[in-house]
Structures are given as structure tokens and as C-alpha cells.
């Protein structure tokens, strides 16, 4: 119970830090005109969001870094509140946030305004970073490679682990990016997923990893204070890319990454809707199976309000996250 209370307390601290420094960040972003560029092919109701401050992922990343540094400082006075194991997911969060910042900047002020980095540049960078992280998971942290629900021992995947880890990190990073299309959606989904994997880590005895998950969830909830509809701030790729990549790393560290498609069912569904849309379009010579992809836009064009979509998607995500936790403890 003490560990649970401490994890929740750290989440509360990161939440307060995010909420406190949110208004100054908003003023800075508005001063430098760091605003969202809305694509004309999107739903018409999104046109009113033109110019809304973006790169709000900074609001999530900095409190997590600060709380983590404070925990490391606490070890100097003999308090055992952090461990080496959280340095890898923390590093992933920071590096992917920097990549997201570059992508956002390209889309706001760069030569590719409204589009962002070229896929042929961003995607190889994601693969390179994910490969380095996967090597770290195997050779430095020696994480359990795979826990199958119901089995007591971890399965060793041998040479298959590295490509699977790279695929999960890159895939989840981009899936969370696809999910970030409505006010509050990506934040709610990712925070819920981090709480779920934090709970799994606690049950495994990975105390430091669990604390990190709750700290990140708390900071994300703090960001949501400014991101609920109608949003005052968007996370941008500065937030969605690191949230997705870090979530995958956390899942890999628990060994229960096989539950990631369940716990992150909404980002998976968003990604699959795009793949299905593109494949169906090409096979049928231009016909569409959805009104628009990712799938949250399909429901927008079907008459659902933005709040209805976000709340219903979050409820689905919450339910599947609970299923995931249940399977992890079987």
C-alpha cells in the first residue's frame, strides 16, 4: 500500500507542476506564434482551431524530467525513490520529444508548413532510435522478453526480440500520433495506458518503473487541463511521438508487451483504420470504406460531437486497459 500511495503522490506532484507552468508556456507559445496549421482536407469544424498553440508536449516532458531529477537528488540523502531502470524510458521520452519538436517546427515555420518533416527522413530516424533502445533493453537492462498470460516464466525470443521491439516502439509512436486528432483524445488514452502498465509494474515488483509510469500519467493529466475541448493547447508531435514511444518501452520492460494492442486498443484502431482505408482505396480504384481516416474523423462526419467521440473512445480504452491488467495477473 505504501508503494501505491507513493506512486499516486508522485503523479499528483507532476500533475500540479504541469498545471502551474501551463499558463506561462501558453503565453510564450502565443508570443512566438507557435500555432497549429489545420489541413484543408480535414473536417470543416476543425478550421476554427487554426492558430491554437501547439508543441504542448513540452508541458508533459519537463515536469517528468523535473520530478525524476528530484527523485535522483533524494538518493543523496539516503532516500531510495528512484532507480537506474527509469533512465531508459526517460531518455526515450526526451529524444522522441526532440524529434517531435523538429517535426512540429517544420510544420509551423519550416519549408513544409502544415505538413512537417518528410516521412523518408522521420521514419528512418525513428527506426534508428528504436534500434538503439532495443539493444539497451536486451544488453543493459536484460528485461524479460515476453510474458504470456497464464505462464509463470518469461519466454526467450532470441534474435526475434530486437525487430519486435523496434516495430513496437516505432509503431506505437506513430499510432499515438494518429490518435492525436481530437481535443483530449491522445492525452486520455496515453495516461490511461501508463496507469495500466504502472499497475502491472507494481504487481511485478518493478517499483521504480511503476513510479515513472504514474509520474508520466500525472503530467499528462496536467496537460489535459489545457487540452480538453475546446482546447487551449495541442500536444503536437512534441507530445504524441514521445508518449507512444515511451509507452512501448514501458510495455517491453514489463515483458507484457503482448498486451499493448489491448491496453492501447484505440491507437491500434486508429492505425488500422488508415491501413484499411488506403488498401481498400487502391483495390477498388478510389472507393472509401470510411468517410475519413483515422477513424475518429469518420465518426465526426457521421454526426458525433468531438466530446462524444473522445469520451466514448476513452471508455473503450479504459475497459480494455482493465482487461489487460486482469490478463497480466493471471
Q: What is the tens place of the pLDDT at every residue in 208-250? A: 999 999 999 999 999 999 999 999 999 999 999 999 999 999 9
| 147-167 pLDDT per residue, tens | 999 888 999 999 999 999 999
The DSSP secondary-structure symbol of 258 reads: G
Residue 322 domain flag = no
The contacts of residue 33 (CB under 8 Å, 6+ apart) are 51
Residue 185 domain flag = yes
E-assigned strand segments in 25-159: none
Residues of the domain holding 110: 2-259
Q: Could you give the C-alpha distances from 172 to 194, 243, 257, 322, in angstroms and in order?
A: 13, 9, 11, 19
Q: Could you give the C-alpha distances from 69 to 59, 163, 191, 260, in angstroms and in order?
A: 16, 32, 21, 28
pLDDT at 44 over 70: no
Ordered alpha helix ranges (H), the chain: 2-31, 57-74, 87-108, 119-139, 161-179, 185-204, 207-227, 236-254, 260-263, 265-283, 295-301, 306-328
Q: C-alpha cell of 159?
A: 534474435
Residue 125 domain flag = yes
Supply the pLDDT for residue 34: 87
Residue 209 domain flag = yes
Instruction: Please tell me the distance from the alpha carbon of residue 83 to that of residue 223, in angstroms, as a whole number.
Output: 26
Supply the pLDDT for residue 104: 93
Over residues 198-213, the mean pLDDT reads 94
Supply the pLDDT for residue 1: 64
The total domain count for the chain is: 1
Over residues 14-33, the mean pLDDT reads 94
Residue 105 domain flag = yes
pLDDT at 107 over 90: no
Over residues 98-103, the mean pLDDT reads 96
pLDDT at 130 over 90: yes
Quick one: which of 277, 320, 321, 319 has its CA closest to 296? 277
Residue 297 domain flag = no
Residue 324 domain flag = no
pLDDT at 67 over 60: yes
Report the predicted TM-score, pTM, of the whole model to 2 decimal places: 0.95
Supply the pLDDT for residue 289: 95
Yes or no: say if 99 and 128 are a contact pair by the CB < 8 Å rule: no
Per-position DSSP letters for 45-63, written without gaps between them: GGGGGTT-B--THHHHHHH
Residue 188 domain flag = yes
Burial of 283 (0-12, 13-18, 19+ CB in 10 A): exposed
Band of pLDDT at residue 38, cut at 50, 70 and 90: low
Supply the pLDDT for residue 116: 77
Amino acid at each position: 500500500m505504501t508503494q501505491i500511495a507513493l506512486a499516486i503522490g508522485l503523479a499528483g506532484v507532476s500533475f500540479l507542476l504541469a498545471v502551474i507552468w501551463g499558463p506561462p508556456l501558453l503565453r510564450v507559445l502565443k508570443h512566438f506564434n507557435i500555432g497549429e496549421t489545420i489541413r484543408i482536407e480535414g473536417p470543416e469544424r476543425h478550421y476554427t482551431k487554426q492558430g491554437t498553440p501547439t508543441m504542448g508536449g513540452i508541458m508533459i516532458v519537463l515536469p517528468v524530467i523535473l520530478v525524476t531529477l528530484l527523485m535522483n537528488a533524494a538518493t543523496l540523502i539516503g532516500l531510495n525513490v528512484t532507480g537506474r531502470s527509469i533512465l531508459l524510458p526517460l531518455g526515450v521520452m526526451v529524444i522522441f520529444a526532440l524529434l517531435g519538436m523538429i517535426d512540429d517546427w517544420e510544420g509551423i515555420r519550416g519549408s513544409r508548413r502544415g505538413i512537417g518533416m518528410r516521412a523518408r527522413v522521420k521514419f528512418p530516424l525513428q527506426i534508428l532510435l528504436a534500434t538503439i533502445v532495443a539493444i539497451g533493453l536486451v544488453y543493459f537492462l536484460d528485461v524479460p522478453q515476453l510474458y504470456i498470460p497464464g505462464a509463470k516464466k518469461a519466454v526467450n525470443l532470441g534474435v526475434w526480440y530486437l525487430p519486435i521491439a523496434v516495430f513496437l516502439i516505432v509503431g506505437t509512436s506513430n499510432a499515438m500520433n494518429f490518435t492525436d486528432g481530437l481535443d483530449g483524445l491522445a492525452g486520455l488514452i496515453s495516461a490511461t495506458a501508463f496507469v495500466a502498465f504502472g499497475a502491472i509494474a507494481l504487481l511485478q515488483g518493478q517499483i521504480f518503473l511503476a513510479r515513472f509510469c504514474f509520474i508520466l500519467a500525472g503530467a499528462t493529466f496536467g496537460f489535459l487541463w489545457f487540452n480538453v475541448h475546446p482546447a487551449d493547447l495541442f500536444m503536437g508531435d512534441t507530445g504524441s511521438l514521445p508518449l507512444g514511444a515511451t509507452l512501448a518501452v514501458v510495455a517491453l520492460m514489463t515483458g507484457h508487451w503482448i498486451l499493448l494492442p489491448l491496453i492501447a486498443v484505440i491507437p491500434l484502431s486508429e492505425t488500422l483504420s488508415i491501413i484499411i482505408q488506403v488498401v481498400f482505396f487502391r483495390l477498388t480504384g478510389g472507393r472509401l470504406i470510411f468517410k475519413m481516416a483515422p477513424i475518429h474523423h469518420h465518426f465526426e462526419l457521421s454526426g458525433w460531437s468531438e466530446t462524444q467521440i473522445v469520451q466514448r473512445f476513452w471508455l473503450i480504452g479504459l475497459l480494455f486497459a482493465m482487461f489487460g491488467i486482469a490478463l497480466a495477473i493471471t
